[in-house]
């Protein structure tokens, strides 16, 4: 099969080489076709999901139920199908979970890249890697057993099933996603600049803050987007510990219901009911929010100089 | 010509005889499964699962040619799955709505009575309430246990999702379709409700009577203890029926299964799991 062996056979060599290339090309073509197929299937399913959601939402729009669904009161047995409290719940929870998890993730990555002792880096990253393999339901269950009673006894007015409890649990769940994304980017940058910046006399913390942070901007944005999307898309933790009361929260101790938990709760109702229709709108909103966050951050990122340099 | 007609007649007669035998003579006990084989898939109401699983084990042990699978999902899922033909029997803890029957062409078979009990933590000194007090608690008018003879602590309200048969019964029979406070926590199953109440001395919620045990205390309603006996005699009014539903006429095997559950051996299983068999 090897080319070197075939080259010296002068007259037939060219022909042999040609057939060899042809075979190689054909194989490559096949691989490309397979990859294209995989791409088409994954893109196609996303488009199909959007299509289905839209298809099921259209009757709600044309029948004029939209104002009923975009209202602040969810009392389905009294003809009130407002899902705005759930929209607020989803956004509040995703934002608060990010507010806890993102700085924590940045800290962990800084610790692992020069700020902390070297020997701790391996075990720390091992722990983070291990965290990714814990199923969500375990976080939820442990939280119900330990965190819910803790919150309840600390704040007697709360039932323990609250925005606060869900925030703490969810931030722990999205932390590994954030850390691993930032870490991957820092590692790439680190290899390139470590010696140079050390030679210039930067301390490790200066390197991290002024050399690596701007260079790793892309990874920092990506971690923010994916972390937020995961927090927004999580269903089980919200369902298990957030309390699911369909209300706009006034404090972190209030019970809240997210759009995802709402879908999970309502999907079992009579599929001919109006309540059931609201889950398609909920799905569409989730889809739209995640898409919007992705797009806007991508645009923001392409405007930053560091992002451009690496793009 | 003559002979073949005769043979056809004989076959038809035999078939009719078999069907009759299956539905009348032997349908009451395990022996009626002797000549049958095939698969039954069951899904739906979570309260039904222990009964269905127990019956399925008995039947599969008796006749290994029959496979029965039992899944949960809730009453609404039961209707959707049996309606779409994904399972043979869809269990519900509530009567089917007219729209559901019309949409899927379902046949319904009630087989047991279940009571719904108001439940609190065993540490809570309150053990009896009137229906008026309960309505006020769930409406959010009474907010402190002190108002109903308990300690001076806020009441933690727990309710179920709108797809729940337990909620539907509680809401209709006890709250008389009155309001439930929007601040109440919503839990997705009888099990989750039990867990929440078992942990929280200030909690109040409701579960199927079969779920009451050491960890959650049943509340006397207008001085009537929530027990299955009181539910059957009619003294305890908050009750519901448990149903099996099929899409159209069930197959002989499914028909035999339904008859078995509703027969004397099924009654024993139903009693064993804390429900009351529906005697015809």
Quote the CA–CA distance of A173 and A66 in Å, as a whole number.
34
Looking at CA atoms only, how far is residue A293 from chain B in angstroms?
29
The pLDDT of residue B26 is 45
The pLDDT of residue B6 is 62
Least Cα distance to B110 among B246, B272, B8, B209 occurs for B246
A206-to-A121, A210, A220, A305, B238 alpha-carbon distances in Å: 19, 6, 18, 20, 70
Is A87 a residue whose pLDDT tops 80?
yes
Question: b or e along B188-202 (b: 16 or more beta carbons within 10 Å of the residue's beta carbon)?
Answer: bbbebbbbbbbbbbb
User: Which three-class secondary structure state does DSSP give residue B95?
Assistant: coil
Looking at CA atoms only, how far is residue A244 from chain B in angstroms?
5
| Tens digit of each residue's pLDDT (9 = 90 or more) over B6-19 | 665 565 555 555 55
| Tens digit of each residue's pLDDT (9 = 90 or more) over B189-219 | 888 899 999 999 999 999 988 888 899 999 9
Looking at CA atoms only, how far is residue A196 from chain B in angstroms?
57
Asked if B101 reaches chain A (Cβ–Cβ under 8 Å), the answer is no
Looking at CA atoms only, how far is residue B255 from chain A in angstroms?
25
Q: Specify whether the CB–CB gap between B131 and B188 falls below 8 A.
A: no
Looking at CA atoms only, how far is residue B257 from chain A in angstroms?
25
User: For an interface test with B, which of A268, A275, A278, A279 has the most B Cβ atoms less than 10 Å from its Cβ?
Assistant: A268
Q: B residues 200-229 near A, CB within 8 Å? A: 200, 202-203
| Tens digit of each residue's pLDDT (9 = 90 or more) over B151-175 | 999 999 999 988 788 898 899 989 9
Is A66 a residue whose pLDDT tops 80?
no
The pLDDT of residue A11 is 63
Is B56 a residue whose pLDDT tops 90?
yes
Question: CB–CB of B76 and A267 under 8 A?
Answer: yes
Widest distance between CA atoms in chain A = 92
| Tens digit of each residue's pLDDT (9 = 90 or more) over A135-187 | 999 999 999 999 999 999 999 888 999 999 999 999 999 999 999 999 988 88
For residue B167, list chain A residues with Cβ-Cβ distance below 8 A: none
ipTM field: 0.78
For residue A86, list chain B residues with Cβ-Cβ distance below 8 A: none
For residue B185, list chain A residues with Cβ-Cβ distance below 8 A: 159, 161, 243-245, 255
Task: Name the percent of chain A lying above pLDDT 90.
Answer: 46
Nearest residue of A to residue B144, measured between CA atoms: A157
Cα B68–Cα B74–Cα B80 angle in degrees, nearest 5: 80
Q: How confident is the model at residue B77 (pLDDT cuts 50, 70, 90)?
A: confident
The two beta strands, B239-247 and B185-187, are: unpaired
What is the CB neighbour count within 10 angstroms for residue B131? 16
CA A97 to chain centre: 12
Asked if B162 reaches chain A (Cβ–Cβ under 8 Å), the answer is yes
- Using CB atoms, pick whichever of A156, A157, A272 lies closest to residue B100: A272
Tell me the average pLDDT of chain B.
Answer: 87
Question: CB–CB of B182 and A264 under 8 A?
Answer: no
Q: How confident is the model at residue B234 (pLDDT cuts 50, 70, 90)?
A: confident
Question: CB–CB of B99 and A267 under 8 A?
Answer: no
What is the CB neighbour count within 10 angstroms for residue B67? 13
Query: For B223, left (φ over 0), alpha (ψ -120 to 50), or beta?
Result: left
Alpha carbon distance, N-terminus to C-terminus of chain A = 39
Tell me the average pLDDT of chain A.
Answer: 87
Question: b or e along A230-240 (b: 16 or more beta carbons within 10 Å of the residue's beta carbon)?
Answer: bbbebbbbbbb
* Token pair 């076959």 in the structure block, residue: B11
């Amino acid at each position: 099969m090897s080319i070197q062996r075939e080259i010296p056979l002068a007259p037939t060599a060219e022909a042999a080489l040609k057939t060899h290339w042809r075979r190689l090309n054909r194989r490559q073509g096949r691989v490309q076709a397979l990859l294209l197929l995989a791409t088409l299937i994954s893109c196609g399913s996303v488009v199909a999901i959007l299509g289905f959601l839209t298809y099921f939402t259209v009757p709600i729009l044309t029948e004029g139920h939209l104002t009923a669904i975009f209202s602040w009161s969810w009392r389905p047995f009294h003809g009130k199908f407002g899902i705005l409290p759930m929209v607020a719940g989803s956004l509040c929870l995703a934002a608060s979970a990010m507010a806890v998890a993102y700085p924590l993730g940045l800290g962990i990555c800084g610790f692992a890249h020069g700020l902390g002792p070297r020997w701790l880096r391996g075990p720390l990253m091992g722990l983070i890697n291990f965290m990714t393999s814990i199923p969500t339901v375990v976080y939820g269950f442990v939280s119900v057993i330990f965190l819910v009673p803790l919150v309840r006894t600390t704040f007697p007015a709360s039932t323990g099933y609250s925005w606060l409890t869900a925030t703490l649990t969810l931030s722990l769940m999205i932390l590994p996603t954030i850390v691993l994304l930032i870490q991957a980017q820092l590692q790439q940058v680190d290899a390139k600049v470590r010696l140079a910046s050390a030679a210039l006399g930067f301390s490790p913390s200066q390197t991290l803050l002024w050399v690596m942070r701007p260079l790793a901007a892309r990874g920092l944005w990506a971690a923010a987007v994916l972390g937020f999307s995961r927090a927004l898309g999580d269903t089980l933790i919200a369902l298990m510990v957030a309390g699911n009361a369909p209300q706009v929260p006034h404090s972190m101790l209030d019970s809240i219901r997210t759009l995802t938990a709402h879908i999970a709760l309502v999907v079992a109702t009579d599929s001919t009911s109006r309540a059931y229709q609201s889950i398609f709108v909920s799905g569409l909103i989730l889809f739209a929010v995640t898409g919007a966050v992705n797009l806007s951050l991508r645009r923001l990122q392409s405007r930053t100089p560091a992002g451009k340099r690496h793009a | 010509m003559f002979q073949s007609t005769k043979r056809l007649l004989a076959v038809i007669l035999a078939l009719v005889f078999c069907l009759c035998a299956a539905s009348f003579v032997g349908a009451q006990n395990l022996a009626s499964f002797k000549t049958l084989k095939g698969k039954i898939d069951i899904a739906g109401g979570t309260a039904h699962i222990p009964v269905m699983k127990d019956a399925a084990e008995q039947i599969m042990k008796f006749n290994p040619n029959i496979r029965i699978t039992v899944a949960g999902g809730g009453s609404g899922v039961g209707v959707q799955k049996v309606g779409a033909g994904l399972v043979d029997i869809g269990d519900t803890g509530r009567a089917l709505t007219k729209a559901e029957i019309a949409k899927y062409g379902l046949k319904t078979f009630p087989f047991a009575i279940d009571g719904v009990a108001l439940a609190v933590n065993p540490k809570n000194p309150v053990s009896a309430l009137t229906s008026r007090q309960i309505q006020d608690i769930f409406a959010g008018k009474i907010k402190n246990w002190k108002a109903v003879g308990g300690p001076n602590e806020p009441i933690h309200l727990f309710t179920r999702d709108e797809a729940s048969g337990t909620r539907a019964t509680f809401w209709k029979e006890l709250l008389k379709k009155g309001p439930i406070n929007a601040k109440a926590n919503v839990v997705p199953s009888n099990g989750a409700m039990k867990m929440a109440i078992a942990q929280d001395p200030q909690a109040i919620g409701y579960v199927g009577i079969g779920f009451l045990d050491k960890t959650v205390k049943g509340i006397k309603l207008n001085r009537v203890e929530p027990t299955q006996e009181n539910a059957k005699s009619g003294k305890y009014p908050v009750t519901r029926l448990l149903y099996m539903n099929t899409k159209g006429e069930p197959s002989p095997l499914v028909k035999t299964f339904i008859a078995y559950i509703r027969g004397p051996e099924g009654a024993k299983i139903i009693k064993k799991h804390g429900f009351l068999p529906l005697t015809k």
